[in-house]
Amino acid sequence: MYQIDPSRTDLVEEFRNNPYGPYSPELNLVVNRLRLMPMGDRHILVCTKNGCEWMLAKMPSKRGAAVELFKDRLFTNYDEGIWEVFRMRWQTVTGESLA
């Protein structure tokens, strides 16, 4: 499986500036790696108010179990939510936190 180099902050900035793509080939590898992490480690956004509010959540380890909601982590800006999910997944995979 692709190993993310945590020192590649240039790829982090590329994602931050263009979260919807298209991505460079290297960033595409990073994004795919973050999408394919184990289900129980995967942070997601849950829409709580159609098109205007999202909540950070974490997928369960077992199919059919409840999603863990972080009720104190609400976003009214979808891009900010996407950035938070990227940050959380990056930290889970690399062990490094992003500002």
Length of the chain: 99
Angle CA 38–42–45, to nearest 5: 155
> Tell me, what amino acid is at 78?
Y
Those residues of the chain that have pLDDT short of 70 are none
Is the CB of residue 19 less than 8 Å from the CB of residue 86? Answer: yes
First-residue to last-residue Cα distance in the chain: 26
